[in-house]
A and B are shown apart, each in its own frame.
Chain A
């Protein structure tokens, strides 16, 4: 089962890589077409250049995650992972309404099995249920959106819809776009429909979390791009503005909630919300620029968005795998209990550091390259003619800068508290893991992703040159010639010039440490004995930002002092802090409402066969009258 699953994952990944190559080199390709008697049921499979970056991401993740699955805990997970990758591939090549919706539902189903892998736990069952509800409501919105568009077109194929898109009334297109935004946005985790994501993603096995955050969110964004750039094109400026605003809100909201969360996996899931926001900003700027005729800027923004989608997939998968190793070896992912993992995880710790540096966009890693491009596209939009557009872009620029600073704070906390310093809990006596981590399939998978992160950071041309072709065909503008007077092929000069001196400085320090005196002494803590408990905690580290952003996070402190003989010498102090997720509460309220409505409507389900037949007849009459009209 395990080897079958791994083999299948790798085979699908190779297929995805081949298809990505084909899509870039040949442009639109039809792979297969199954005509059906009612033409609405036609199944078309094909390729567009827009799918290529997502296929490439799927291929890279598939290879790494396949390797990881050689060591995953349940063999059945490997098979499920293979199925998950295959269904995502299907979504990316689906080119008709029915094919897309079928593939989309399959993807949701398979991923729900992965989220519910530990179904013996109550919270897992609950999260899986919430995920399924959100996924199904979203799928319904997507179905309606696609049908709305297809009803005005010659056929259900995406190319038919695209060719007649301009003739569709503006109101219908806007309705379809809004529905698609709800459907794809909820799957991608855009605020305020993100509430299921930080619950579902962390509960899945590590490989599945990596795929959920790394790939599935991107597939949802692909769907949004297909609707916005192809099926419902041309997009008015308002759609672009909506996406930029939503993206900025998601980026800031995601990072704020990540900052105060101390469950490593949930924190990473919140960072997915942040990064999906950043990608959405890029897509929004591309739509805005295209609607006002600035095609070069639109291409730049689309390149930035697609590049960041690839990059986020790579480093988020790397980080989720690292969190998986932490969970397996330490038995917890609570930052307050971790510490000093650098010594215990000789391979995972440095690789996790690469992921942290990539996600906070430090040069020369891939996150820097794509966030820099996103900033360039935002700033390039300052000269767009519309005043409202400029204001929105100005706000988004500031918001993105704030997001970057907050993300940096968050990952100093994560890596510093969990991996550096000293262990906070004593080593378990029954630890089955060997003292030193060995290089195995799991570390190989992480190393592979880290190499991709470094490669795309040092040589952005690897991604930007093909993405420029894709953007040119998608936007329909001239070839992309470069950004900030740097042609795309020589973008490498920027990261290399930036890090040459820091790297030299680091090497100089290592040389000096080897040749000159560098002595180790215990940390000076004002004379008191150095204990692991005296180290700064994650709660303490994020306190200033929690206080400053209290108007969003609404933290609630509870302090419990147990004192013995004297109130001045407490025996134990328990300090607990909780933050409220406003959206979460809204979702809970809405969920309760939906349940109440469902309970009321139970009266319809009387169990009487004749009544059911009456329902069926009534439904038939309604459909026929509607169809005849």
Chain B
């Protein structure tokens, strides 16, 4: 079972940059640009891996280790998804995984403040703010099975009856996904303007192989979240989950093309509505038999 989980981890890690490249290509095509090849992220990563890393003078060891910790947090998430195997029992626990995600944000945030750059620190501040608002929604969106008394393992989500509650949960999780994968309208991966960078801003002072670590971590996390969204949708087989993940990736790209980035202080309203969706979904599951 552990072998299957490791195999799944390798497949997800290998495909994650491709998904990023494909989404970028699709976005470019939707905007009428030829766009870079879908394989471009692999080339970028190979080049970054070969380069030296440059850090601001006098930083603490936290800044040296932070990219490795970020990658080390993304990988268990990919391994824990209940797809190839029924999920690794200790790792596939939803609440523990959410705590684990906080570890990566905490370390990257510290590294950003440590870099003495006001831009990076501002990004750390914004990232922590959004994360604090997203966390309750993320938790509630994934607790559908727990509301029925089926425990807090990710594997319990796979064969959950869908219905209206499931739809609401998917809606909430979609907004969470936009925030967690740094997409418009919450963040913008393509921006070159430091003041609006959130996720990119955290990595502002990283370069070379350290940046490669952070990028792989973001790609793996993105694919894992897409697959998680697929898990919340009806189906349940591996292929159904994968197909849903592709569909959601397309929707994310279309949303990115249609909408502009929200102002920072409008994001809480969006996240609050996501929270309402998630809470309504759980409430439906809790009282589904009586309503």
Contact = CB atoms under 8 A, between A and B. Distances in A.
A and B part of one assembly: yes
Contacts of A368: 99
Interface string B54-72: 1111111110111111111
B197 interface: no
A513 B53 contact: yes
A502 B73 contact: yes
Nearest to A383: B149
A363 B152 contact: no
A397 B139 contact: yes
B132 A484 contact: no
Given A416-B114, A485-B151, A544-B264, A497 B102 contact: no
A456 to B, nearest CB: 16
Interface stretch (A172-180, A517-525, A561-569): A517-525
A405 B133 contact: yes
Contacts of A501: 72-73, 75-76
Contact of B129 (A353, A371, A544): A544
B135 A497 contact: no
A376 B98 CA distance: 13
B75 to A, nearest CB: 5
> For this complex, into which size category does the number of interface residues on chain A fall?
35 or more
A360 to B, nearest CB: 7
Nearest to B124: A412
B216 to A, nearest CB: 10
Given A518-B53, A523-B116, A484 B151 contact: yes
Interface string A502-524: 11111111101100111111111
Interface in A529-544: 530, 532, 534-536, 540-544
Contacts of A353: 62
B187 interface: no
A522 B117 CA distance: 10
A382 interface: yes
Contacts of A504: 68, 72
A420 interface: yes
Contacts of A372: 95-96, 99
B20 to A, nearest CB: 20
B134 interface: yes
A387 interface: yes
Interface string A380-408: 00110001001100100111011011101
B53 A502 contact: no
A505 B60 contact: no
B283 interface: yes
A498 interface: yes
Interface string A465-497: 000000000000000000011100000011001
A601 B279 CA distance: 53
Contacts of B67: 505, 509
Contact of A361 (B99, B131, B213): B99
Contacts, number: 260
B121 A535 contact: yes
Interface string A93-124: 00000000000000000000000000000000
Contacts of A519: 52-55
Contacts of B91: 497-498
A415 interface: yes
A532 B73 CA distance: 32
Interface in B194-240: 205, 208-210, 213
Contact of A416 (B109, B140, B146): B109
B17 to A, nearest CB: 18
A500 B9 CA distance: 15
Contact of B88 (A343, A349, A497, A547): A497
Interface string B248-274: 000000000000000011001000000
Given A361-B99, A498-B76, A534-B118, A408 B128 contact: yes
Contacts of A520: 54-59
A387 B56 CA distance: 55
Could you tell me the dominant secondary structure of chain A's interface residues?
helix
Nearest to A502: B72
Contacts of B282: 382, 394
Given A412-B124, A519-B52, A547-B265, A513 B64 contact: yes
A552 interface: no
A604 interface: no
A505 B69 contact: yes
B209 A401 contact: no
B129 A548 contact: yes
A405 B135 contact: yes
Contacts of B95: 372, 375-376, 379
A298 B135 CA distance: 26
A542 B122 CA distance: 10
Interface in B84-125: 88-91, 93, 95-96, 98-100, 102-106, 109-110, 112-118, 121-122, 124-125
Contacts of B98: 401
B140 to A, nearest CB: 6
A360 B131 CA distance: 13
B136 interface: yes
Nearest to A485: B89
Contacts of A390: 286-287
B203 to A, nearest CB: 14
B55 A518 contact: yes
Nearest to B108: A412
Contacts of B110: 412, 415-416, 420
B14 to A, nearest CB: 17
Contacts of B132: 402, 405-406, 408-409, 545
A6 to B, nearest CB: 33
Contacts of A399: 136
A543 B61 CA distance: 27
A497 B72 CA distance: 11
B126 interface: yes
Interface of A: 342-343, 349, 353, 357, 360-363, 368, 371-372, 375-376, 379, 382-383, 387, 390-391, 394, 397-399, 401-402, 404-406, 408-409, 411-413, 415-417, 420-422, 484-486, 493-494, 497-510, 512-513, 516-525, 530, 532, 534-536, 540-545, 547-548
Given A408-B131, A421-B116, 9 more contacts: A382-B147, A397-B140, A402-B133, A412-B113, A486-B90, A497-B88, A501-B76, A509-B66, A543-B125
19 contacts: A375-B95, A397-B136, A401-B140, A404-B102, A405-B133, A409-B131, A416-B109, A420-B113, A497-B90, A498-B90, A502-B69, A502-B72, A508-B68, A509-B67, A513-B64, A516-B53, A523-B56, A548-B265, A548-B268
Q: 5 closest A-B pairs (Cβ-Cβ)?
A: A405-B132, A416-B113, A505-B72, A505-B68, A536-B121
